[in-house]
Chains A and B, each alone.
Chain A
Amino acid sequence: MIETKNLTKIYKRGGSEVIGVKDINLRIEDGEFVSVIGPSGSGKSTLLHLLGGLDKPTYGEVLIDGENIEDLDEEDLCRLRRDKIGFVFQDFNLIPTINAIENVVISRIPTGVPPEMVERGVNLLSYFRMEDRLDHLPTQLSGGQQQRVAIARALINTPHIVLADEPTGELDSKSGDEIVHLMRKMNEMEGVTFVIVTHDLNVSNKTDRVIQIHDGEIVKDSKK
């Protein structure tokens, strides 16, 4: 479960202050399939970064499974991101020099990759119809295939939450639909909470809950 209390992020740019998000009070239950929509610069990505502990709030709190991430030191925060949260980025952010399966398990490389994790990685890629692309470098894959590798990477540690920032932004509509379909499948199969930031209504229409954000504030939160 993710919960935010009065979550606010203010950036200082030059001499002036810019509000990223303001007083966000939000509760996302386990297993939800949520989208966050809004125009460019509305604060969607800022919210996602704060939820994932990638950025620190100016005020307010983010609680993941009841734990305030502000209380965690750098090491524990890294561990939380690795074990409980998966990230999917708009431009995939795959490591260009290593192949698909290595990219999937990369988060575990420093501590050693157990064989069962490799097996899970292979299974995820196979499920995503990538079984013949395990040894391919990112440059040898299409955009849709790269995003599937990125989703497998986000799911490898069986996280509670996957935070996806414009996951279909770089893809054509067919590939985008496939990606959303895959995320929905994983949400149903593994009970993973998905929070998808998008400005594509076609994507948000496929989610169970749509949070609309404008100028850093939630203006609408609707469940189907």
Chain B
Amino acid sequence: MAREYKLKMHNIAYKNLFGRRFRAILLLFAIMIAVALFFGLSSLTAGMEEIMAEATNDSNMKNTIDVVDSNKGMFYGTIDRSVIKVIESIPGVKNVVPRVFALVRLEDVGMTTPMSQMERTVTPEMDMLMQQMMGMMGENVNTMAGVGISDIADSVNLIGIDPNLEYITGGYPSKIVKGSIFSTSGGAIVGEMLAQNSKLDVGDKITVLCGDKQRTFYVSGIYSFGNPIQDNSIVVNIKDAQYLKGIGNNEVSSLRVISEENIDNSLISMHIKAKLPGKVSIIDHSLTASVINEQFNQFKVYEYIVIAIIVLASIGFILAITMRSITERTKEIGTLRAIGWQRTDVLRLIFIESLITTIIGSILGIILGVLLPYIFQAIIPVFFPSLIIPPMSELVKITPFMVVESIAIGCAAGIIGGMIPSIRAIRMSPVEAFKY
């Protein structure tokens, strides 16, 4: 029986690639790196964008302001509940939600959170900034003797809430990922990052220490907020928080003021300051959100520039490889043309070769791109031990469009890189090509 031979164009393309495997692997590698960098950066940006969107666009940021004690701030100051009625009387105010904040320690729970790691790197200036970041927006921060980074370094943020009021206003918890919210005193929900880092799960018991007071809670659920500070916190009933903090039933740490839609936060702030002169400070979240968005948009511009440089550099590198490869094959192309191949036939062969390389390179690039942030996460601490890197699982977001986009960029780079030198080669007469 006559033997079957594989004599299709794509068979020849495979053989050409296999026969020139060093160049093919080099090209594959260039495409893989380009796609991996593009994909890795895109997934990181998309993930960060989502976190920013969650943090800035939900009800915690939009149309909300926090009112805190002007002297000692959110963590160390208190506001009397009677202020609620004063604020509720301001036109445009929809809800006023009391909360209690405290920095606490967890007994027998290992802390590997970013907050505890910060202790090693923080300067006095950063200490001050941290305090402000943590919401200690008192006008007299310097007077808070002993309240520094060393105090908060191994602490977690305890938030005392009224679950019913929070439910009505869409506040805490924004998303329960496991279990459910506590209904009574003695229950706690734990932020996802704290739960992961401290290996806490639904049903566990935790003892919370605050000064000389302590209370044991059962973990009823795990929540996710989308930002590291809130996801590193523990949420309990407001009464439990008041007990731990050692404040009275009528005292709270902050009042979250939610305004009606289309009401300017600055107007509400002005009214509050006028009604409570010198007593309170205002944290305007819409302002914070716009600053964050502005900063993030700036970051995105830099990211797009980096992506553009990567893609252009990759195309350049791919072109350099294919130019050399095609130059070496110019005589071969001339021979094919001499024995009857049309120009389009030669281009078709090179297109198939480029397509095979770019598809494989792009797929490998996407796999590497998925792993890249995790690889960086593992490597960076070796070189920069003091750098704090949040878990990549929370930062990276992969979408089907991103996969398509990365394959398209890989294919475009590979095919353009392959076709440009080929077009030059097929334009030569066979006699010219034989001279190579």
Q: Give chain A's interface residues, CB within 8 Å of chain B.
A: 49, 52, 54-56, 74-75, 78-79, 81-83, 86-87, 89, 93, 95-98, 101-102, 105-110, 112-113, 115, 118-119, 122, 137, 153-154, 157
Q: B338 — which chain A residues lie within 8 A by C-beta?
A: 52, 54, 81, 87, 93
Q: B434 — which chain A residues lie within 8 A by C-beta?
A: 89, 93
Q: A118 — which chain B residues lie within 8 A by C-beta?
A: 2, 5, 7
Chain B residue with minimal CB distance to A115? Answer: B2
Q: A113 — which chain B residues lie within 8 A by C-beta?
A: 5, 7
Of the stretches B8-16, B38-46, B255-263, B385-393, the one at the interface is B8-16
Can you list 21 pairs linking A and B with CB atoms under 8 Å apart?
A: A52-B338, A56-B429, A74-B342, A75-B342, A78-B341, A78-B342, A81-B339, A81-B340, A89-B434, A93-B335, A93-B338, A96-B19, A97-B18, A98-B19, A101-B5, A105-B7, A108-B7, A109-B7, A113-B5, A118-B5, A154-B339
Cβ-based interface call for B199 (8 A)? no
- Do residues B7 and A110 form an inter-chain contact, with CB atoms below 8 A? no
- Band of interface residues on B: 20 to 34
- Do residues B12 and A98 form an inter-chain contact, with CB atoms below 8 A? yes
Q: Give chain B's interface residues, CB within 8 Å of chain A.
A: 2, 5, 7-9, 12, 15-16, 18-20, 331-332, 335-343, 345, 348, 429-431, 434
Q: How far is the CA of A101 from the CA of B15 in the complex (A)?
A: 14
Q: How many Å from the CB of A6 to the closest CB on chain B?
A: 21
Q: A95 — which chain B residues lie within 8 A by C-beta?
A: 16, 332, 335-336
Q: A49 — which chain B residues lie within 8 A by C-beta?
A: 431
- Do residues A98 and B340 form an inter-chain contact, with CB atoms below 8 A? no
- Do residues B342 and A98 form an inter-chain contact, with CB atoms below 8 A? no
Q: A55 — which chain B residues lie within 8 A by C-beta?
A: 429, 431
- Do residues B431 and A82 form an inter-chain contact, with CB atoms below 8 A? no
Q: A157 — which chain B residues lie within 8 A by C-beta?
A: 340
- Ranked nearest first, the 8 interchain pairs of A and B with the lowest CB-CB distance are A82-B340, A97-B19, A110-B345, A93-B335, A113-B7, A107-B339, A107-B340, A54-B430
- Do residues A97 and B15 form an inter-chain contact, with CB atoms below 8 A? yes
Q: How far is the CA of A51 from the CA of B332 in the complex (A)?
A: 21
Q: How many Å from the CB of A73 to the closest CB on chain B?
A: 11
- Do residues A110 and B9 form an inter-chain contact, with CB atoms below 8 A? yes
Residue from the list B15, B332, B335, B341 in contact with A110, Cβ < 8 A: B341
Residue from B9, B340, B431 with most neighbouring chain A CB atoms (10 Å): B340
Q: B431 — which chain A residues lie within 8 A by C-beta?
A: 49, 54-55
Q: A78 — which chain B residues lie within 8 A by C-beta?
A: 337, 340-342
- Do residues B336 and A106 form an inter-chain contact, with CB atoms below 8 A? yes
Q: How many Å from the CB of A52 to the closest CB on chain B?
A: 7
Residue from B332, B336, B339, B343 with most neighbouring chain A CB atoms (10 Å): B339
Q: A52 — which chain B residues lie within 8 A by C-beta?
A: 338
Q: B19 — which chain A residues lie within 8 A by C-beta?
A: 96-98, 137
- Do residues A82 and B339 form an inter-chain contact, with CB atoms below 8 A? yes
Q: How far is the CA of A98 from the CA of B7 in the complex (A)?
A: 10
Q: How far is the CA of A95 from the CA of B342 in the complex (A)?
A: 17
A102 in contact with B339 given A54-B431, A110-B348, A115-B2 (CB within 8 Å): no
Extra A-B contacts (20), CB below 8 Å, given A97-B16, A113-B7? A74-B343, A75-B342, A78-B337, A78-B341, A82-B341, A93-B332, A96-B19, A97-B19, A98-B12, A98-B19, A106-B336, A107-B339, A107-B341, A108-B7, A109-B12, A110-B9, A110-B341, A110-B345, A112-B8, A154-B339
Q: B343 — which chain A residues lie within 8 A by C-beta?
A: 74
Q: How far is the CA of A95 from the CA of B349 in the complex (A)?
A: 13
Q: How many Å from the CB of A159 to the closest CB on chain B?
A: 10
Q: How far is the CA of A95 from the CA of B434 in the complex (A)?
A: 13
Chain A residue with minimal CB distance to B343? Answer: A74
Q: How far is the CA of A87 from the CA of B7 in the complex (A)?
A: 21
Q: How many Å from the CB of B47 to the closest CB on chain A?
A: 44
Q: A98 — which chain B residues lie within 8 A by C-beta?
A: 12, 15-16, 19
Q: How far is the CA of A78 from the CA of B346 in the complex (A)?
A: 12
Chain A residue with minimal CB distance to B430? Answer: A54
